[in-house]
Amino acid sequence: MAIATIDFLGFLYKGRRIVNRFIIRVIEIAALIVLPYLYVSQENKNDCCGESAVFSPQHQLTIWVIVILCLIAYFYSVYRKQIATPILEVLVNSFLLLGIVFNIFIAIHTGSTLLAIAGNLPIILLAILALVKNQKSFIEQSELTAFVPKNRFEKIALVILQFQPILKFPILFILCLPLLVIITAILLLFGQKTDSLIRAFTDTYKHGFSEWDYQCDNVSCGGHYLCSVAANGHPQIVKPNRRGIRNGHPIICNRQLLIANAFEDLIQEKLPVLHKLIRNQYNKLGNLIHRYYTIFNNRFISDCIYFLMKPLEWFFIVILYSFDRKPENRIAKQYISTIDRIKLDNFK
């Protein structure tokens, strides 16, 4: 980040880039290649209880298409030897402006000052320098060669490019809107929606523009969704037998909940791959419960879920008694303190 800033300030002061080209190429790779890769490699799902996706998994295609187009515009601007036709010049500069605005929104959305300074800011500075380079190249080549427009679109594009930067860049920014409309229309063929660009930011948890934080209300992370709901039914029906601790918060435990958690504990211990598969599918059901938690928090609903879960409870207990040498110990140590778990593990 510091090198990109020094190069940018040096350009403003001396009218030329002052950092070695090789170093600039390294910065380009770090900022323009590594940063997008970090976003791709992050958790690719919305998760109330862990690292949640930066962009909505269902709408990420729109984000990455725009990122790729902006990167193509940047590298084309930096490595080409001469300017292109007026229409292509307008497109390239528009995508560079789009990349600048896009990175500002990403920096706000992630809410990470470090990531914004070390990642988004260098990208913005590099894009600005590419825009300035394009402007200078166009002026220099226009003085040497007079371009004759072949149609009305080229004539309009040429007029835009000949404006002074104070007027030219706002017009190019306005042109980003029809570009986004065209990109959106094409991506409809690939399952994206007309508002995917917006929903990529809003349909997330715990980020700057997230609007789904309400789904994490009343969520007890790491728990059994259905069995936790069932344990909140009428006491004479669901038969709570003790209080437990989950993620530092007290919860109501009945035998059904303890058996279900003990079963998951056994599967995680013996068959971790199968456990991960089951847990991922179960979390999808949990998302529905999170969204309509007030409904599932009704005691009569909890009673119904308790009875519906009875066959599974019997299945779990059969598995526990078949494959665990001390099934009751495993059941008893669910949702208790770490110290008490160790004591039960050492109990003979």
What pLDDT is attached to residue 286? 61
Distance CA 87, CA 135 (A): 14
CB burial readout 285-298, b (16+ within 10 A) else e: ebbebbeebeebee
Break the chain down into helix, strand, coil percent, rounded to 5: 70, 5, 25
Residue 24: is its pLDDT beyond 70?
yes
Distance CA 35, CA 70 (A): 14
What pLDDT is attached to residue 347? 62
DSSP 74-93: HHHHHH-SS---HHHHHHHH
Residue 222: is its pLDDT beyond 60?
no
Whether the predicted model's global pTM rises above the 0.85 cut: no
Q: What is the mean pLDDT of the chain?
A: 80
pLDDT above 70 covers what percent of the chain?
Answer: 78
Comparing 278 with 266, the larger pLDDT belongs to 266
Query: Considering only CA atoms, which of 191, 176, 189, 203 is closest in space to residue 66?
Result: 176
Model pLDDT for residues 196-212, shown as the tens digit of each residue: 999 999 988 888 898 88
Residue 65: is its pLDDT beyond 80?
yes
Comparing 196 with 37, the larger pLDDT belongs to 196
